[in-house]
Amino acid sequence: MKVEENKVIGIAFELKVSKDEDDIESVPFSVEVRDENDPFYFVFGKSGLPEKFEEILSGKEINDEFSFVLEKENAYGEADEELILTLPKSQFSKQNGFTEEMIQEGNFLPLMDENQQPMQAKILKIQGDNLILDFNHALVGFDLHFDGKILSVRNASEAEKQSGLVEGVD
């Protein structure tokens, strides 16, 4: 079975990132590894992953290996200043499910959007009674280096096709 739209894909991979800053290219460093014991599953065409990522995997089959780099323009792009917001620290209280340990500069806060989908924001700065939060994707501004293998391909259920969320694993 081939990787194509409305299939649930299971992959093992290593993701490394790099970033060009001030005309100095950084050496890629590993940020995530998913192996055959803990594959990453997604609904092809509904994953929210970069379009180019899915385009490169399209047509591959079980046991096919892949190795490619998505430059930031084809990954998560550049940071959007409009996604950096100042919010009252009081919104992140114990009553709302947050602990003092969570409210630290550099931490990512687990949040839900208006559709109850999980999202996160990075605490850039604590400024008195306010938090400066960055809602940009954590990998914005980075080139993404993928090395991996297709482990499984199956038809997505109707619910998976609608939601884009994988219900179960193989």
CB 170 within 8 A of CB 156: no
What DSSP character marks residue 2?
B
Intrachain domains 7-77+142-163 and 81-134 with the same fold: no
Task: Classify 81-134 by CATH class.
Answer: mainly beta
CB 18 within 8 A of CB 28: yes
Domain topology for 7-77+142-163: Chitinase A; domain 3 (3.10.50)
- The pLDDT score that the predictor gives to residue 23 is 59
| Mean pLDDT on 53-77 | 97
Question: What is the SS3 assignment for 157?
Answer: coil
The predicted model scores a pTM of 0.84
The domain limits of the chain are 7-77+142-163, 81-134
| Mean pLDDT on 117-137 | 94
Q: Is the pLDDT of residue 24 over 70?
A: no
What DSSP character marks residue 58?
T
pLDDT in tens, 76-112: 999 999 999 999 999 999 999 999 999 999 999 999 8
